[in-house]
Structure 1
């Protein structure tokens, strides 16, 4: 760590901008699934810039696509002009989404994407009431904070939306202890009906939900819960928005989009992070009826810019051509299975959960999670943290992770857990 760089960072950056590790690191180079810090230490990266470097670092196909666009001299034009790469990417996403008659609007981030989806839903339904999930996170902006069900990430109590929070990812609570998936799903559905009958006055615009909660520590409902919810939502005309910022593009291994695990097609999906493999891109894909309904003129100055579109098209093509969804399922089975086997002899581990290359270890407390992160870093593995109580170490390696890298990461995690348990 450069002490002077850390001092400069603290002098000019907000105090709430958290840094990982007791001695924060600066990543200065990367190749494949590995990065190197400013001190020359190498790491296997299992957190990929918070699930953003989806196919690793310095990928030739992505780099060359970006270089070709830069060579034209056109870095930016705005949505006031036609952008071929933007149309091409929108066509691919619309086709892959499974949403009938889909249209796509590009933004710069997942936060912006969720704001756009909330706007579409509240305008269509003419109400500010929105359903969201407990423990959820949808971004740092004013509207997104309003549908975030995690107090640690919520700055203000007031919001442009009136949110009601549902069960579905909180099976650790005593009232749900010992329930089967079916019983828990039924209890959640009945609670949804009760919320609609009591707390929610009049019409509700939408339910916005992450198929797997990112900041929430990769908590997730039983498969099929959102299909059961949608049956109720459809009775009231309430829309379903799936926040796919962390679960899209085959990461779960089970479906190309996380909501597919529930056997239901939403009215809209938001996306960002991994699609650009490090370049800023986000967006919403929704039914044309929803997307075209807004009456005011709109644009996105930087959303869908030519450089990001070049990177995103190349990234998505790479994911599809190399069937990385299948690789996520394969490598995830190895790592999650290995972690669960190790957890049987490690009392500090409360839970191992995940799908594909999106998995987490829940520990006894926040201190244990911080200690595990440090132990992994010392052994050359980068991981992330999350969870409602800050006690979860979460991981999302590149989707093209190799057999050898999966085995290496699992070995480091196991060794780090063993050290933690012994301390």
Structure 2
């Protein structure tokens, strides 16, 4: 059955549409932190549909909200007043930390970042964008143009002039040997030098934790230091919170808050987890920035009633059950457990992350050379043991990406760590 579906997939979908596993997996249903495939096999899900199933599979509150809203009306577009959209926008504006915030809903993180770039370039009247090396911001023409990860950038053509800044990866590159304070100082000096050689940029866009890049991050405070430089020059700061938002990092509700001493970003983008699987993305910005466009615009599917109902129910559940606190506690235990395992596995260069956003970087033993074949082998072995994880990384896909639903229990964390330990030892 799965082989037949794979053949049909190959015959009608693009060759570049990536699939995991030598024998691709069809997931048919899920509950809590588990999913089942078409053969009836059960898996502990440590990737959550690429960080999208944020709270739990088949969360009753979300399922009920979707069903009830679908029974009334599914869609009308933004040309009509939309109560669920207004209610979710009010909640998001309140928790955003941005004063006088306005919220615009999209259907994906790509579209959210695309909108943020439109706002920033229009507001600043500049098409120059600062982005981070090893970054990923989506698959549209503009977001590919600012993505600093070769593996996810299929063209060098772009409507934007993009300049790449140091700092997104702490343990690689020319400043890796420095301590945190000197690392930040060196990155700021590099940014100042770069700004001296270009026309004023519109914005810096940065993921607080680089997702596709392998869950890498700078020392806390780097983006606050950047923000001071940018603010003096009127350059906007866009925080791409598509993967880091809603408390996944445990310590903070937004990833930017680890760098927040100089205030919130000018623009925040979000997506993935807020819909718990429904297509919800969006942009938060100060009113003067959001309202800077001088032409009409709508969104046909952004903010549609059924996805807004899902997002509101999901956000309420997350806040009422303190899933941020759970991510901090259970994620901390999981990271320490994996670091203990890594100390005994020569292929593991580093275990890094925050909360329930953890990367395990694999290299050839005794070197810093990426080992994508080892990552693929571990992915297969983990699946055989009943565990689903993801892959990523800047130089190659040699980082295991671990991001389970934020309701993960201690027992499930232990179970997943034990399965991953067996998979790692198998290489």
TM range (shorter): over 0.9
Structure-2 residue corresponding to 1:160:
159
Specify the alignment match of 2:388 in structure 1. 382
Residue 373 of structure 2 is aligned with which of 356, 367, 370? 367
The alpha-carbon distance between structure 1 residues 236 and 302, as it changes in their structure 2 partners (threshold 3 A), is same
Q: Is the 8 A contact 2:176 2:183 kept in 1?
A: no
CA distance in 2, matches of 1:24, 1:16: 15
Instruction: State the partner residue of 1:108.
Output: 107
By how many angstroms is 1:386 displaced? Answer: 0.2
**Is 1:71 the counterpart of 2:71 in the alignment?**
yes
| Counterpart for residue 30 of structure 1 | 30
Instruction: Report the equivalent of 2:418.
Output: 411
1:98 aligns with 97
Structure 1 partner of 2:16: 16
1:323-362 residue CA offsets vs partner (Å, 9 max, x unmatched): 0000000011111001111111111101100000000100
SS at match of 1:82: coil
Aligned length: 417
1:224 matched residue in structure 2 = 221
Instruction: Identify the residue that residue 208 of structure 1 maps to in structure 2.
Output: 205
Query: d(CA) in 2 for partners of 1:174 and 1:298?
Result: 42
8 Å CA contact 2:209–2:255 kept in 1: the answer is: yes
How far apart, in 1, do the equivalents of 2:236 and 2:176 lie?
30
Secondary structure of 2:426's match? helix
Name the CA distance, whole Å, in 1 between partners of 2:227 and 2:171.
Answer: 24
Distance 2:2 2:316 in 1: 38
3-state SS of 2:284 partner:
strand
TM-score normalised to the size of structure 2? 0.96
What corresponds to 1:196 in structure 2?
A: 195
In the alignment, structure 1 residue 392 sits paired with structure 2 residue 399: yes
**1:2 and 2:2 aligned:** yes
Is the contact made by 2:170 and 2:217 (CA closer than 8 Å) also made in structure 1? no
The answer (yes or no) to whether the contact 2:274–2:311 under 8 Å persists in 1 is yes
Task: Tell me, in whole angstroms, the C-alpha distance in 2 between the residues paired with 1:224 and 1:394.
Answer: 24
Distance 1:282 1:386 in 2: 22
The TM-score, its normalising length taken from structure 1, stands at 0.97
Q: Which residue of 1 aligns with 2:85?
A: 86
How far apart in 1 are the matches of 2:269 and 2:138?
Answer: 12
Q: Displacement, 1:184?
A: 0.6
**Matched residue, 2:285:** 286
**Cα distance per residue 1:43-102 (max 9 Å; x no partner):** 000000000011121111000011110111x11100000110100000011010000000
Query: For residues 35 and 371 of structure 1, what CA distance do their matches in structure 2 show?
Result: 21
How far apart are the structure 2 equivalents of 1:267 and 1:137?
20
Question: How far apart in 1 are the matches of 2:172 and 2:52?
Answer: 32
Q: Can you give the 5+ residue segments of structure 1 that lack an aligned partner in the other structure? A: none
Q: CA deviation at 1:416?
A: 1.3
How far off its partner does 1:124 sit?
0.5
CA RMSD of aligned residues (A): 0.9
Residues of 2 paired with 1:174 and 1:39: CA distance?
45
- The offset of 1:253, in angstroms, is 0.2
- Counterpart secondary structure, 2:95: helix
* 2:134–2:168 contact (8 Å) kept in structure 1: yes
Q: Secondary structure at the match of 2:102?
A: strand
